[in-house]
């Protein structure tokens, strides 16, 4: 090989090395280059079906004083049906971000599970499969697959207010995604108040190591594969941390310490407990992506006044969630919180009248039931503060691309699957 040939070969080799892509564990050819706006996103589905009339339009007064500006009093006729809650002090949450007063859920399928699915996948679903993984990838899977560095399950959480199909929202059956990229799920109402008696047998660290080693032998003898293909899985280390967390959660609730952690007495409900558990997950793991929901306002089908009362409680819980974020090292000033109902409720009431003379309201897909609000909170310099959009703007399927944009992997979303846009107007 002469000198010229050598140099030419070397040049070709170097060029092809530079040109050849690096195959990342996540399966993408290059690491995403998009920078992050912040490092954490919390999505709170202020759900259960809440009309704009009762939330941002304040038809019965300001039922959300923790979130919204205004001192409009609650309507006198329903006031006796309201539980006592601590008075909201200081600026409302709205001051720390952008409020879309006329956000939309552009679908007639006002079914709770279906609408949750739409928000989490960024796709208006056409059919609903219960108790099965979703057809379209979830935001959790996009996040875990396309983030520039490996994200274990500890970084992604789904705290579900209800059992049934809702815990299935953590991953899809999409061939390119699936449980490998799913979120950890906790469904607090299934875990708490069970009276577990003796409590778990705990093994000290040395014994746990001995157990693990023996189990390796036992598993090697059996040699089965894909045992839990239908479930998100964690590393041994993460499993131990999550299990400790769950045991602590159950034990503290059983001992009474966490039965009413925010000292609300009779006002305590499942929504608040669900958000409390999400707060504890935030404290324990500082997740980069957490989704939590509330659904007690769905009592609006039967008792209007209680529906209003539960909107107030959800408002209180949302404020506590933000307070937790802002007091958690690693997440304070580095988190964007998005809160929105999954859909609204009908304009016309049904025939059920409560003891205060108010008629209940269903959600059957009329135009009013597609009207919702969306509140996006975040640090100054990232999220526009005190901004309000009064005109119709944004829809629920925009949430997935917006979260992806915030966490810096937006360019890797499969555009053919998603129809939403990034809510650019939120950001500075």
* Among 102, 233, 270, 411, contact with other proteins (rule: CB under 8 A): 233
Residue 35 binds other proteins, judged by CB under 8 A: no
- For 188, the 3-state DSSP assignment is helix
Decide: 66 and 318 in contact? Cβ < 8 Å.
Answer: yes
Among 16, 22, 33, 221, binds other proteins (CB under 8 A): 221
Cross-strand pairs, 371? 104
Q: Which of residues 382-411 bind other proteins (CB under 8 A)?
A: none
C-alpha 69/C-alpha 92 separation (Å) is 6
Written as six digits, the tokens of 131 are 């108790």
Q: Least CB distance from residue 74 to other proteins, whole Å?
A: 35
**CB closer to other proteins, 236 vs 266:** 236
If the CB atoms of residues 5 and 221 are measured against other proteins, the closer one turns out to be: 221
Give SS3 for 368: helix
Between the CA of residue 352 and those of 71, 300, 304, 305, 365, what are the distances in Å? 30, 10, 9, 12, 19
Residue span binding other proteins (CB under 8 A) among the ranges 6-14, 23-31, 237-245, 285-293: 237-245
Measured from the CB atom, the residue of 92 and 188 that comes closer to other proteins is 188
User: In the set 234, 251, 350, 384, which binds other proteins (CB under 8 A)?
Assistant: 234
Q: Which string of x and - marks every residue 177-216 that binds other proteins (by CB under 8 A)?
A: -----xxxxxxxxxx--xxxxxxxxxxx-xx-xxx-xxx-
Q: CB of residue 258 vs other proteins: minimum separation in angstroms?
A: 15
Query: Rule CB under 8 A: is residue 287 a binding residue for other proteins?
Result: no
- Tell me which DSSP letter residue 360 carries: P
For other proteins, which residue of 26, 232, 281, 399 counts as binding (CB under 8 A)? Answer: 232
Integer CA distances (angstroms), 195 to 149, 191, 243, 270, 298, in order: 41, 10, 18, 17, 28
Residues contacting other proteins: total by CB under 8 A: 52
Residues 119-178 that bind other proteins (CB under 8 A): 153, 158, 163, 167, 170
Neighbours of 247 (CB within 10 A): 14
Please report how close the Cβ of residue 166 comes to other proteins at its closest, in angstroms. 10
Q: Measured from the CB atom, is 199 or 381 closer to other proteins?
A: 199
DSSP string for residues in 88-120: P-SS-GGGGEEEEEEEE---S---HHHHHHHHH
- Kindly state the smallest distance separating residue 148's Cβ from other proteins, in Å: 24
Instruction: Choose which of 2, 217, 265, 351 interacts with other proteins (CB under 8 A).
Output: 217
Report the b/e string of 74-98 with b at 16+ CB within 10 A. bbeebeebbbebeebeeebbbebbb
* In the complex, least distance from residue 299 CB atom to other proteins, rounded to whole angstroms: 23
Task: Please report, as residue ranges, which positions from 48 to 77 form the binding site for other proteins (by CB under 8 A).
Answer: none
List the one residue out of 383, 322, 300 whose CA is nearest residue 66.
Answer: 322
Rounded to the nearest 5 degrees, what angle is found at the Cα of 36, between the Cα atoms of 35 and 40?
Answer: 160
Of the listed pieces 70-78, 96-104, 117-125, 238-246, which binds other proteins according to CB under 8 A? 238-246
Q: CA-CA distance, 49 to 391, in Å (whole number)? A: 21
Enumerate residues 242-261 that contact other proteins by CB under 8 A: 242-243, 246-247
Please report how close the Cβ of residue 222 comes to other proteins at its closest, in angstroms.
4
Distances (CA, A) of 66 to 57, 71, 412, 416: 15, 11, 36, 39
Asked if 290 is part of the footprint of other proteins (rule: CB under 8 A), the reply reads no
Give least dist CB 384 to other proteins, A.
35
Q: How far is the CB of 302 from other proteins (least distance, A)?
A: 25
361 φ, ψ (degrees, to nearest 5): -135, 135
Question: By CB under 8 A, is residue 24 in contact with other proteins?
Answer: no
Q: How is 73-96 classified by DSSP, letter by letter?
A: PPPTTTGGGPPP-PPP-SS-GGGG
Residues that bind other proteins (CB under 8 A): 153, 158, 163, 167, 170, 182-191, 194-204, 206-207, 209-211, 213-215, 217-219, 221-222, 224, 227-228, 230-234, 239, 242-243, 246-247
């Amino acid at each position: 090989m002469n000198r010229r040939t050598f140099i030419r070969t070397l040049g070709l080799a170097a060029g092809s090395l530079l040109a050849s892509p690096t195959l990342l564990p996540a399966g993408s050819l290059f690491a995403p280059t998009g920078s992050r706006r912040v490092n954490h996103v919390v999505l709170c589905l202020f759900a259960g079906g809440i009309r704009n009339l009762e939330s941002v339009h304040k038809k019965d007064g300001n039922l959300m004083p923790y979130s919204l500006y205004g001192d409009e009093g609650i309507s006198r006729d329903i006031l006796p049906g309201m539980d006592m809650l601590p008075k909201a002090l200081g600026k409302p949450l709205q001051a720390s971000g952008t409020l879309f007063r006329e956000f939309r859920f552009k679908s007639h399928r006002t079914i709770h599970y279906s609408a949750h699915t739409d928000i989490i996948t960024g796709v208006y679903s056409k059919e609903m499969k219960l108790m099965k993984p979703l057809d379209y990838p979830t935001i959790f899977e996009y996040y875990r697959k396309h983030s520039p560095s490996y994200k274990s399950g500890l970084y992604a959480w789904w705290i579900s207010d209800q059992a049934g199909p809702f815990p299935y929202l953590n991953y899809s059956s999409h061939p390119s995604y699936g449980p490998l990229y799913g979120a950890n799920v906790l469904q607090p109402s299934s875990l708490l108040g069970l009276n577990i008696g003796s409590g778990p047998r705990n093994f000290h660290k040395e014994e746990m190591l001995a157990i693990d080693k023996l189990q390796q032998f036992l598993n090697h003898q059996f040699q089965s594969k894909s045992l839990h293909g239908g479930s998100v899985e964690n590393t041994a280390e993460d499993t131990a941390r999550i299990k400790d967390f769950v045991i602590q959660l159950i034990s503290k609730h059983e001992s009474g310490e966490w039965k009413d952690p925010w000292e609300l007495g009779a006002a305590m409900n499942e929504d608040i407990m669900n958000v409390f558990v999400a707060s504890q997950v935030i404290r324990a793991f500082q997740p980069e992506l957490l989704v939590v929901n509330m659904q007690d306002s769905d009592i609006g089908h039967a008792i209007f006044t209680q529906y209003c009362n539960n909107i107030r409680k959800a408002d209180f819980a949302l404020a506590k969630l933000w307070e937790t974020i802002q007091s958690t090292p690693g997440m304070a000033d580095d988190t964007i919180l998005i809160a929105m109902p999954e859909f609204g409720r009908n304009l016309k009431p049904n025939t059920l009248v409560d003891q205060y003379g108010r008629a209940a309201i269903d959600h059957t897909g009329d135009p009013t039931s597609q009207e919702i609000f969306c509140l996006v909170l975040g640090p100054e310099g990232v999220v526009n503060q005190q901004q309000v959009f009064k005109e119709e703007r944004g829809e629920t399927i925009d949430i997935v691309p917006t979260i992806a944009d915030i966490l810096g992997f937006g360019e890797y979303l499969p555009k053919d699957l998603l129809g939403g846009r990034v809510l650019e107007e939120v950001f500075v």
